């Protein structure tokens, strides 16, 4: 019972050594974690991709797709028809062509009430057709989707995708080996149309109520097992880029990615991942550098939680999906015709048609340093755990020091610190709800809703910096500040591990940036050190991290512009990024904004409070933990 009742009872030799050298150990763990994660890019520390699900039988079927002429005719037909529909899908022609092929065709209407301005209402219409499986009772289904883009869209056209979709539908309708329904889906308004269709298909609402009215579907198929989203930007393609990042950092089963890449190789199609060409280097450093850049590109996309294609919205429903984006052929490049694309789709769908159960054999958590190599969760989680362990060990050391110096008035300190800790998180909850709270005020001001919401958030975040000024008693109490610092360290470490289990990109980025600064934060009476710590901690504020990342990207993209123009563009882009994260959370259920406001900012405020300590020198007790 001594270990449970006496804090000194557990301080053996190992504990004493830990307390003596914990500072060096924390630094060592952090560096080891960063080095471990970076080293994973080397082929010596990752593995070749392989198929875990043998039922797919990839590449063993002889391709028979021969509707290249039909694909060209459909493309020409819809290119002419699209000119008559500036802001909507040419649904009459689409419905007619699907029905002519012999497929059940339907339209799906949906309505969006602007999240930040309910008076603005947007309408959309999807078109979809269902090819009923001749060898099954519509219990399972596959999806081939295309996002329709009007001629006025700022994004590249996807009309070639519609041409190949209809050509493949014409081919598939003649075949009798399908054991799963095939849904041919053309969505309106990019991801919004896909979100509305999925919510209507599953009968759920993923975002806030009364924002997206997903409508109802008049036709349904079986349980969707997998989906392929197609985005071809020209009738002659030079390469196919395979996109996998989904909502909130979710990834499709690795077998689906392997399947797409395998069929690309079989059909002689040049494919890429993260739009980067395959490179092979004999030099070890150059090889590592190439793979490391791919890793950074993947985690930078994954960390935002924003899907890089319509496929990303399927993943939350347990439907494995990816996007095949085709770029127009460059001069002197490889030529990929409609015939090759059609056979690529045929190979993927016939392989998925062989599945006897849902994708489950391979990995769902992984990082791809290249299209043929992967890093599993068992390899990258130790790196995240070592970085998180650095702050957790420091918190444990502070707790032992705290127990050694325990005073009679500490129970009162515990209560005060817990109340403050909870209050800071209530501030975070208020920040999260602030866009909703500002809605009633929007009609009363003469500015755009986006501008009011952003600067309202900025103003409130600025006010939180003055919280320590209203609690002078706490800032002058060393015990209270040590306890608050300990709570902040524990929260930072556990948050990083929890995030890494779901979205390794967000967890590792947040930990790598904040942990080294958090390790040096201590309550102190030395004004010089406190100012230095305060400046360093301000630099890792979530909003400033966002601005810094956008600023670096802006500098790279607009190097020819003046410094003033670059700063203005960066500020505007930061405002848009914050607003879009709010809108995404309301419509799609993207939890990046929620995590930042409910966890990152309150945790940041805990350490900010510690850096605002006002300990007088004459009462400062020598703290061995510094």
DSSP string, 431-479: HHHHHHHHGGGGGGSSS-HHHHHHHHHHHHHHHHTTGGGG-HHHHT-HH
Q: What is the mean pLDDT of residues 276-291?
A: 87
Q: What is the mean pLDDT of residues 31-49?
A: 95
Bridge partners (DSSP) of residue 243 are: 323
Q: Which of 440-449, 472-481, 584-593 has the highest mean pLDDT?
A: 584-593
Q: For residue 618, what pLDDT is reported?
A: 54
Band (pLDDT 50/70/90 cuts) for residue 54 is confident
Nearest-Å Rg of the Cα atoms of the chain is 28
Report whether 367 contacts 40 (CB < 8 A): yes
List, for residues 310-346, the tens digit of each pLDDT value.
Answer: 999 999 999 999 999 998 877 666 788 899 999 999 9
- Percent of the chain scored above 70 by pLDDT? 94
Q: Which of 57-61, 242-246, 448-452 has the highest mean pLDDT?
A: 242-246
Q: For residue 442, what pLDDT is reported?
A: 75
**What is the C-alpha separation between 228 and 322, in angstroms, rounded?**
5
Q: What is the mean pLDDT of residues 485-508?
A: 95
Which CATH number does 54-371 carry? 3.40.630.10
Q: For residue 333, what pLDDT is reported?
A: 66
Q: Is the pLDDT of residue 59 over 70?
A: yes
- Percent of the chain scored above 90 by pLDDT? 67
Portions of the chain given CATH number 3.40.630.10: 54-371
Q: What is the mean pLDDT of residues 276-299?
A: 89
How many CB atoms are closer than 10 A to CB 255?
Answer: 27
Q: For residue 11, what pLDDT is reported?
A: 59
Q: Is the pLDDT of residue 243 over 70?
A: yes
**What is the C-alpha separation between 269 and 252, in angstroms, rounded?**
22
What's the pTM? 0.90
Q: Enumerate helices (H) and strands (E) in the chain, giving the number of each.
A: 20, 12
Mean pLDDT of the residues in the chain: 89
List, for residues 413-459, the tens digit of each pLDDT value.
Answer: 888 899 999 999 999 999 999 998 888 877 777 677 888 889 999 99
**Which tokens go with 246?**
């989904």
Band (pLDDT 50/70/90 cuts) for residue 58 is confident
**What is the C-alpha separation between 126 and 186, in angstroms, rounded?**
6
Q: Is the pLDDT of residue 307 over 50?
A: yes
Q: For residue 4, what pLDDT is reported?
A: 39
Q: For residue 283, what pLDDT is reported?
A: 86
Q: Of the given ranges (92-96, 134-138, 402-406, 551-555), which has the lowest mean pLDDT?
A: 402-406
List, for residues 331-390, the tens digit of each pLDDT value.
Answer: 666 788 899 999 999 999 999 999 988 898 899 999 999 999 999 999 999 999 999 999
Q: For residue 408, what pLDDT is reported?
A: 52
Q: For residue 569, what pLDDT is reported?
A: 93
Report whether 312 contacts 278 (CB < 8 A): no
């Amino acid at each position: 019972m001594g270990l449970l009742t006496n804090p000194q009872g557990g301080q053996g030799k190992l504990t004493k050594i830990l307390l003596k050298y914990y500072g060096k150990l924390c630094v060592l763990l952090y560096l080891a974690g960063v080095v471990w994660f970076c080293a994973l890019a080397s082929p010596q520390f990752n593995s070749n991709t392989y198929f875990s699900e043998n039922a797919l039988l990839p590449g063993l079927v002889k391709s028979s797709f021969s509707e290249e002429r039909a694909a060209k005719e459909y493309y020409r037909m819809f290119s002419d028809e699209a000119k008559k529909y500036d802001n909507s899908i040419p649904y009459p022609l689409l419905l007619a062509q699907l029905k002519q092929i012999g497929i059940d065709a339907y339209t799906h209407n949906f309505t969006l009430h602007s999240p930040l301005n309910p008076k603005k209402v947007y309408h959309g219409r999807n078109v979809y057709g269902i090819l009923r499986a001749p060898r099954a009772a519509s219990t399972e289904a596959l999806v081939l989707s295309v996002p329709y883009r009007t001629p006025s869209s700022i994004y590249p056209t996807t009309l070639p995708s519609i041409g190949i979709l209809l050509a493949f539908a014409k081919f598939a309708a003649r075949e009798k080996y399908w054991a799963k329904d095939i849904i041919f889906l053309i969505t309106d308004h990019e991801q919004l149309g896909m979100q509305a269709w999925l919510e209507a298909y599953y009968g759920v609402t993923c975002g806030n109520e009364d924002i997206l009215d997903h409508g109802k579907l008049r036709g349904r198929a079986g349980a969707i097992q997998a989906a392929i989203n197609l985005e071809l930007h020209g009738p002659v393609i030079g390469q196919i880029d395979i996109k996998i990042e989904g909502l909130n950092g979710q990834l499709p089963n690795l077998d689906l990615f392997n399947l797409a890449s395998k069929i690309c190789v079989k059909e002689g199609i040049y494919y890429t991942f993260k739009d980067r060409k395959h490179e092979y280097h004999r030099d070890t450093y150059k090889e590592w550098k190439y793979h490391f850049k791919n890793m950074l590109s993947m985690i930078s996309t994954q960390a935002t939680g924003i899907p890089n294609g319509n496929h990303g919205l399927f993943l939350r429903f347990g439907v494995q999906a990816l996007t095949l984006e085709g770029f127009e052929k460059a001069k002197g490049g490889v030529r990929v015709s409609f015939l090759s694309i059609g056979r690529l789709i045929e190979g993927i769908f016939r392989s998925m048609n062989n599945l006897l159960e849902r994708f489950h054999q391979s990995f769902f958590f992984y990082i791809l340093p290249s299209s043929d190599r992967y890093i599993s969760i068992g390899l990258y989680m130790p790196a995240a755990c070592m970085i998180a362990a650095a702050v957790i060990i420091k918190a444990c050391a502070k707790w032992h020091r705290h127990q050694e110096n325990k005073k009679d008035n500490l129970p009162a300190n515990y209560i005060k610190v817990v109340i403050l800790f909870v209050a800071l998180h209530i501030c975070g909850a208020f920040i999260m709800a602030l866009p909703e709270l500002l809605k009633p005020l929007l009609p009363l001001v003469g500015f755009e809703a986006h501008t009011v919401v952003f600067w309202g958030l900025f103003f409130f975040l600025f006010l939180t910096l003055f919280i320590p000024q209203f609690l002078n008693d706490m800032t002058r109490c060393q015990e209270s500040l040590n306890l608050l610092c300990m709570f902040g360290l524990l929260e930072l470490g556990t948050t990083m591990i929890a995030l890494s289990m779901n979205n390794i990109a967000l967890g590792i980025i947040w930990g790598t940036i904040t942990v080294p600064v958090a390790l040096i934060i201590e309550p102190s009476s030395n004004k010089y050190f406190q100012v230095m710590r305060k400046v360093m901690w301000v630099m890792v504020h979530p909003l400033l991290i966002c601005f810094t990342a956008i600023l670096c990207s802006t500098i790279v993209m607009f190097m020819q512009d003046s410094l003033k123009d670059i700063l203005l563009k960066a500020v505007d882009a930061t405002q848009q990024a914050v607003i879009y994260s709010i809108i995404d959370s309301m419509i799609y259920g993207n939890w990046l904004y929620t995590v930042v406001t409910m966890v990152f900012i309150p945790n940041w405020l805990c350490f900010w409070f510690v850096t605002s300590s006002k300990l007088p020198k004459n009462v400062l007790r020598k703290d061995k933990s510094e």
